[in-house]
Structure 1
């Protein structure tokens, strides 16, 4: 396994108004679906009122600090009654999504110093505002991952074997088409290498669309850093 860290600089010149990460956006989107389902399953006004404010409270708890303006941006969540309103609300959040930091050729060289012919991800097809981690395959079964955690870029390299059956992804915790990612890491306390791995989504775009918390992604990365 090749693994490295690099302090992230704001290479995108990210607009200061952006405050919602991809995983937080996915969580908010999930709450809108819950509220829409509630609208069709009950006519109890009091129950709907409680569900709306519970959803808003959960969303607020995603953020350590929210300005009054940011609270107003999220407030329409409690007013959602129809699909069109949910779609409009989610569309209005788009300008406030934080982009995954730019990954340059220089970044990749530092993250994967032993990979001499690294091509890198196809950035033209990636929506960086809907991304919590990058993943791409080279040389048939060689999988590379770049993860952004705690203001650092972390690079992982390992083998990837597609599974013939669906399973639970270790990163997004959803049932999907998965594959076994295996990488070598130094055993704790000595210089010996051991193999560790877990099942993750075959399609990183699908996975990024399902991530509602960075906790599992952090645990996945952490097993290769012991």
Structure 2
């Protein structure tokens, strides 16, 4: 409603019947600020709904919103109460930004550490004097800890989870209230992964399942031989 008022204000000023009802200039400026400020938040919300981006991008957006709207610090700061593990999140953000980690952050992602990578060259056979001089001039070897790519694949938002829950509501409608849990789980799994399967793959799955059931029933009816 406020956005509509700002849009048509210049036009309604020409209507004598409502001219006295228009807000004063100071009030009008406050209304314009109320209309323009949410535009920045709306752009951030639209960006968060995108499938692109990572935790570093989201943290950068939150920092910008915090700087523009200080009242959001309680909810958007890296140490907010909603953040389950601030050290872990900070470590992932720094890894995505190629920055070094502190001790607490290294401990938080220690389970995701891969093989250590060190820039070592293949040693060549040289004489004792050359090796002595080379060893004295050799810089200290810095061991770089590499982490598995799973950390970089962590989704920054819960959009996919919320979409999955919405799809569950579509699948589990009143007409399917008597559906077996196994069938419901299969439908919920197949729907989000629609691009990974087709009709032929389902036919092959059903045939293999029928063969397994036939083999199980055949073994169950075989007479037992006593020793």
Provide the TM-score with structure 2 as the length reference: 0.20
- Structure having the higher strand fraction is 1
Higher helix share: 2
Structure of greater Rg: 2
- TM-score, normalization by structure 1: 0.20
Question: Which has the higher relative contact order, 1 or 2, with Cα contacts under 8 A spaced 6 or more apart?
Answer: 1
